[in-house]
Amino acid sequence: MNEKLIKLIVKDITVLWSESSMVNDTLGCDENYDIDKTFSFDILADLFLKAATSELGYDKTKMKVNLFNGESFECRMDISPDENNLCDFVSRYLEG
C-alpha cells in the first residue's frame, strides 16, 4: 500500500509511549515515558525515520492508529534501522 493511500485511510496516530529518547524528547513525555498525544502521519513518519537512523538498537513504541472511518487499532512498532518506515508498518496491519 503506498503512502498516498495510507494518508486517505489514516486520520492520525496517538503515540502512547516510547523507549526512544528522540521520540520522547521531541513529543514530550512524563516521568513514566507516557506520551499519549496525537499527531499527523507525516510528522511521525519523519520522526521515526530520524530516530531509527540516529539511535542504536531498537525502541519499542506503542501507538493507536486512528482511521477516518472511525475505527482504530493499537500496535507496537520496534523503531530500528530494520523497521523505520511507518507507511510499511501501518500497511501490514491494514492488509493483514
Model confidence pLDDT, tens digit, residues 12-55: 999 999 999 999 999 999 888 899 999 999 999 999 999 999 97
Element (H, E) at 29: none
pLDDT at residue 96 is higher than 80: no
Grid cell 503506498 — which residue?
A: 2
* Mean predicted confidence (pLDDT) in 2-17: 92
Instruction: Kindly state the cell numbers that stand for 25.
Output: 524528547
Q: How many domains does the chain have?
A: 1
Give the global pTM. Answer: 0.91
Q: Range of 48's domain?
A: 3-95
For residue 93, CA distances in Å to 9, 18, 30, 64, 67 come to 12, 19, 28, 12, 12
The per-residue pLDDT of the chain, averaged, comes to 92
Long-range contacts of 1-5 (CB under 8 A, 24+ apart): 1/87, 1/91, 1/94, 1/95, 2/87, 3/45, 3/87
